Amino acid sequence: MPLRIVHQDITTMQVDAIVNAANTRLLMGGGVCGAIFRAAGARDMQEACDRLSPILTGCAVATPGFALSARYVIHTAGPIWQGGDAGEEQLLRACYRNSMELAVSLGCGSIAFPLISAGIYGYPRNAALAVARDEIHAFLATNNRNHSGGQSEQGVGDSDCSVFLALYR
């Protein structure tokens, strides 16, 4: 299934996993991170994150979704924009790729991303969107077996991953 860009509250999406644009210490923050923590149950989410932190920029880890409809929250630490010459693009690509790989390993058939690093981390919005689209399309082209009509051991189409990019504002 191709990438779908939606204008929707990521915390209410009916998907297997939502991605949290996290900080490396996995602490509740503002913006989409704060919204995810509040919707999931801030105390439970923080306790789960405390067991996994810290993480490196570009890495991804998963917690239960707690009170969210999503089974999992995948936390990835995006890069802070420093002008574009400090490896930010490669780190941002790693956020998307590592999050999708983790989602597939958890058996997720659908995942929703925010626009990682485009908020308080200062990554230019259009550049962040281009990276997100490119990395998601590359992952889907490589990993969705149903694009070529293939079958997995479990049956037709079960390896397809639906990916949503939830934009806000």
Tens of pLDDT along 19-72?
999 999 999 998 899 999 999 999 999 999 999 999 999 999 999 999 999 999
For residue 1, name the pLDDT band (cuts at 50, 70, 90).
low
The pLDDT of 110-116, averaged and rounded, is 97
Write out pLDDT tens, residues 26-39: 999 988 999 999 99
State the pLDDT at residue 57: 98
Output the pTM of the full model. Answer: 0.90
CATH superfamily of domain region 4-146+158-167: Leucine Aminopeptidase, subunit E, domain 1 (3.40.220.10)
Give the model's confidence band at 145: pLDDT under 50 very low, under 70 low, under 90 confident, else very high: low
Mean pLDDT of 134-146: 84
Query: SS3 sequence, the chain?
Result: CCCEEEECCHHHCCCCEEEEEECCCCCCCCHHHHHHHHHHCHHHHHHHHHCCCCCCCCCEEEEECCCCCCCEEEEEECCCCCCCCCCHHHHHHHHHHHHHHHHHHCCCCEEEECCCCCCCCCCCHHHHHHHHHHHHHHHHHHHCHHHHCCEECCEECCCCCEEEEEECC
